[in-house]
Structure 1
């Protein structure tokens, strides 16, 4: 990110701890809340740390899907509505239709193609919206040559500059795992064949335009068919595909439909998403090595569910804002709502509002029985959720860490290019308002009231809501989105003299240390600090006067997310670099070794095999093995050849039935197995201890 004048920011050395709410109240002067509201005790605290960076928003961050069966896809109103909602990416030609679509004659054998939905018509809407296309090349019934011709037409003949090209849609749904909805005419429907074809598509398309970015389809960890190993395959879809194409692609494409119900709403499932996305990044690190940093993650479809959940009413609007921003904060470069228009389905009433069962952002004026949707292109709730994100930040703005003390209130924050700080507050509680105290680190708000935009029951749009918040407190109506925009406290000192450091990378990682390096910041840098994120807090891990450092004394198998900040001669801090997350390993040498393998899976459950080896000079009579689950949704459900307990994520196993002796010097091994459940991702444990000794981990 280019350097930026930070004269609007405080110029003392900013503390890396939250400012007390009482101090903020003094700064804010008289709160612009009603006396009744300001006197009410807060029931939640939101903390924002502007020094804990989560990455920079790109121009394609917010996206939506368009489909060739949608007659309203290119209505003139669509482009203006997309622009107003900050939608910077439009995906075409529409989900599973991509794998039956032939762009040259604009046909989709076996499907319906609406008039006025051809590629050039679509690109007219893209350009009018100020967006960019995400295009799905036909894998199911297409060829690498057909895809290359499309690239030629788009970027050489028409000069559209189409950058992002996916190879197929949900190809893992081609029947290889027993359930088939995606068209795939290849005789071999295995992940290995898909990987082979991705290489061929990429080579043909790049021969026409070397600048295109090629994406491969992955399953989302913790969602079917993740973990399922097909007949004849060496691994599940993700492992099989990435083992072949990790060095040939520029991004991976995943979809997320978490489902939900009245008792378990989709918005509560957003907490799973960071772990699922982290598992994708772990897979990229494993298979791409040093190439992993350049491979992006695109969430090219997201919606609450494919049935049984409100779609056009408020719960899905809250979900859209919370889920899409969470995805961006966790490394996704574009997140694309499914979809622009869809059609009326099962009609219901949700909190007094009619839900048309339509997965679209905008109405397409269809009917379900005697109930008809409003006029075409009338925004539904998800549109307002996405529009709230546009108010939060845009391209070039920096996402920063935020957290809430209440499970019913979510928070997201963005430091904007002009120095303002925007905070999105999501009240997920349909039955109660919440009063929230706001604390800050790395940012001091001015004395004036913030600008407030709100989408709450009764609001026809995202509307100004003056008097509902100060810089230190906000009152959130039930089922609402509130965006506060705060100006920084004015400062008369000189501006900081340093820009933002580049994204750090690991040059080597051991079990107890990591070597980091990063591109230099512009300006007169005195030193750099490597800070570890812990929630919304930061702690200094290491300092350097150069652009590299070794961080020692880290626990084996531990996960760390760090930012680099530069300091000038006056002690002023730069903006934080983009974050880096890394995991330390296991010891290269130990007196024990453990192999952990998942041998079968079905999306939300699995079978694991564990093998123990004693590498020490003396035999062990009576062993115990301990490890911790990396994700809160993982658990043991049954075991054999060992006594296994799972106590709140800590697993303890002991030998049983003659399986208790470990021979010396690796002469023999003992094994046991267990079944497990995973509500979300299923990453492998990182540290195993036999009788208290940290072992070498084998895979």
Structure 2
């Protein structure tokens, strides 16, 4: 028998066996995510009322013990009533809402019984749309004088810009005049009547949220946008402003700092003397939409990220919409049924055809665990500090506790990757040993607790929230932190920073700039003021001050200070940018360029968009181009000259899909101009 065919057969068999038993190719391990936690870069202190949600009078389970106990377990500290747009048709005295449904067992006293069982505070929305100042004052009298409920926070109306003044109407408003000026006049009247009953209450006015309709739109006959008019007329009579935010997507937390920066700019510009006292409340918030899911894990992860970002940036309450809502568009999201329900807890409702029903009443949906994780991560009195990740799929937040502990929350939004993380700490040294770790994963029905990993090394499961609670290494007693700093004499290149002294004996103070999650020391002094120099024009700076003892032990950081430098007071050119017409996703901008120096024959103007979500649509009066974030305008060939004192006017259409922070630094032929 010939040998060659036998060898081929044996070789084939050997190859088959080798293939069968060969080790499978190993998936490449993901690169460890670098997370930075900087305890020197302090942000806002966690408020008592930070974790909130909404109750609605059409929810018959509003006041049940089971509902209250669920909310207490989630750490909810503020409950809002009587529920969204129902606020503008609800009459508290007879517990009616003409045109709407009022469920049994939802009256004010039942709501307050649930509030007390939850261990929360209440926020009440007075009826602006179909009510009166006298009715609202009567509610304050009943609540705080007759019943002794001690309700501190009172809103005037709900989303009153939605009354049809800007072309879309969903909010009830019986006033013939639907303008922001009319609303502002009534805010003044409501505030005066309500505070005459109880001067200790806080009054809130409705604003539009930056970059959300109808923000920046000027209605016919108005003197400005809704926010400008309301703040200008009623700013002296209010204590906080009300924003609502439904981003409809899971990746919008990065827009929060600019959103709040613009809101504070408007408050400072229009609300008059003492505007710094005015707080910001996010009284309605939800991350999802009927198309991308509401009750499953992606919504929970986005909720935790947004709550942490909003509170770290100084909002005093974030209130989820809402406790019970009802079934909506049913889909499959990340391996689980999403019921399209904007509630925290199941309403046990079914689709209209009865084919799909929610789980049992008060079963928590995934966002419930986001609020629960937030309440365990950042407790009232803790101070948020900067944290950052070098992986877009991993978000990082941190908070320092008064006892010296540090909590770090890590959110992995990847559907299929477990990320190892390597955590670096600045201004904090964790104790040795495994930390306490809280985890919530995709589809889980509870937050698990374990002692695992190290302070510097953890692994994050896909679609998970993970919180580490760290003890500090023993250190000498630290001095008390300095008070909140303030800025004065701010120019294009310098600012004087001053602060209240530490109550402890200290050797020196250090001034640190937050540069992402990294601190850059700008100077130090034994006094309580310091002038920082070599700053960049038109740049937003956030600073902290810390104290050091004679032995070198640092204090906690002061509360943060944010300010923006200007442009040169004197320059050979000046530029004025005006937003002439805004429609909520774009605007027409006009730029006046004035030559203050020698005649120019040929000019080029440049500026940069502050954010990636801004872009050039079109331009005129010159040749416009955009490269990356830089916009360049060159004179038209037929009109190159700009004489001394002469002004050229050019225009453009700017597009945006997030908070529209306008460009502020312009250069003409390489020279930084004075912004007017």
Give the gaps of 5 or more residues in structure 2. 1-25
Question: Which residue is equivalent to 1:464?
Answer: 449
Structure 1 pair 294/614, CA: closer, same or farther in 2 (3 Å)? same
- 1:193 and 1:359 map into 2 onto residues whose CA distance is 32
SS of equivalent residue, structure 1 residue 506 = strand
Structure 1 pair 551/101, CA: closer, same or farther in 2 (3 Å)? same
Question: Which residue is equivalent to 2:53?
Answer: 64
- 2:138 and 2:639 map into 1 onto residues whose CA distance is 62
1:97 aligns with 2:80: no
Question: Which residue is equivalent to 1:323?
Answer: 306
Instruction: Measure how far apart 1:663 and its partner are.
Output: 2.7
Question: Which residue is equivalent to 2:15?
Answer: none
Q: Which of the residues 490, 494, 501 maps onto 2:474?
A: 490
Instruction: Measure how far apart 1:40 and its partner are.
Output: 5.7
Instruction: Measure how far apart 1:355 and its partner are.
Output: 0.9
Render the CA deviation track for 1:560-585: whole Å, top value 9, x for unaligned. Answer: 00111112221111111111110011
TM (norm. structure 1) is 0.90
Question: Which residue is equivalent to 1:221?
Answer: 210
- 1:80 and 1:500 map into 2 onto residues whose CA distance is 37
TM (norm. structure 2) is 0.93
- 2:279 and 2:667 map into 1 onto residues whose CA distance is 35
- 1:512 and 1:596 map into 2 onto residues whose CA distance is 21
Q: Which of the residues 530, 552, 555 maps onto 1:549?
A: 530
CA contact (8 A) 2:156 2:190 kept: yes
Render the CA deviation track for 1:184-220: whole Å, top value 9, x for unaligned. Answer: 1111111222222222222222222222111111111
CA contact (8 A) 1:267 1:323 kept: no
Question: Which residue is equivalent to 2:68?
Answer: 79
Render the CA deviation track for 1:293-332: whole Å, top value 9, x for unaligned. Answer: 3211111111124432211111111111111111111221
Give the gaps of 5 or more residues in structure 1. 1-36, 260-265
Instruction: Measure how far apart 1:160 and its partner are.
Output: 1.6
Query: Which region of structure 1 is more displaced relative to structure 2, 244-253 or 571-580?
Result: 244-253
- 2:50 and 2:371 map into 1 onto residues whose CA distance is 11
CA contact (8 A) 2:51 2:371 kept: yes
- 1:218 and 1:307 map into 2 onto residues whose CA distance is 25
Render the CA deviation track for 1:122-147: whole Å, top value 9, x for unaligned. Answer: 11111111111111111111112211
Q: Which of the residues 649, 654, 658 maps onto 1:680?
A: 658
SS of equivalent residue, structure 1 residue 509 = coil
Q: Which of the residues 391, 398, 412 maps onto 2:376?
A: 391
- 1:167 and 1:689 map into 2 onto residues whose CA distance is 45
CA contact (8 A) 2:574 2:674 kept: yes
CA contact (8 A) 2:296 2:443 kept: no
CA RMSD, aligned part only?
Answer: 1.8
CA contact (8 A) 1:619 1:663 kept: yes
Instruction: Measure how far apart 1:466 and its partner are.
Output: 4.1
CA contact (8 A) 1:66 1:92 kept: yes
Instruction: Measure how far apart 1:490 and its partner are.
Output: 2.7
CA contact (8 A) 1:659 1:670 kept: no
Q: Which has the higher contact order (CA 8 A, sep 6+)?
A: 1
Q: Which of the residues 167, 185, 191 maps onto 2:174?
A: 185
Aligned residues: 648
Instruction: Measure how far apart 1:387 and its partner are.
Output: 0.6
1:136 aligns with 2:125: yes
Question: Which residue is equivalent to 1:210?
Answer: 199
1:381 aligns with 2:360: no
1:256 aligns with 2:245: yes
Structure 1 pair 175/379, CA: closer, same or farther in 2 (3 Å)? same
CA contact (8 A) 2:388 2:516 kept: yes
CA contact (8 A) 1:301 1:336 kept: yes
SS of equivalent residue, structure 2 residue 316 = strand
The higher radius of gyration belongs to 2
SS of equivalent residue, structure 1 residue 154 = helix
SS of equivalent residue, structure 1 residue 502 = coil
CA contact (8 A) 1:446 1:487 kept: yes
SS of equivalent residue, structure 1 residue 123 = helix
CA contact (8 A) 1:267 1:322 kept: no
Instruction: Measure how far apart 1:267 and its partner are.
Output: 2.1
Q: Which of the residues 491, 500, 505 maps onto 1:510?
A: 491
Q: Which of the residues 601, 607, 619 maps onto 1:627?
A: 607
SS of equivalent residue, structure 2 residue 563 = strand
1:649 aligns with 2:629: yes
SS of equivalent residue, structure 1 residue 564 = strand
Render the CA deviation track for 1:578-629: whole Å, top value 9, x for unaligned. Answer: 111100112222222111111112222111111111222x222222111122
CA contact (8 A) 1:642 1:659 kept: no
SS of equivalent residue, structure 1 residue 96 = helix
CA contact (8 A) 2:181 2:230 kept: yes
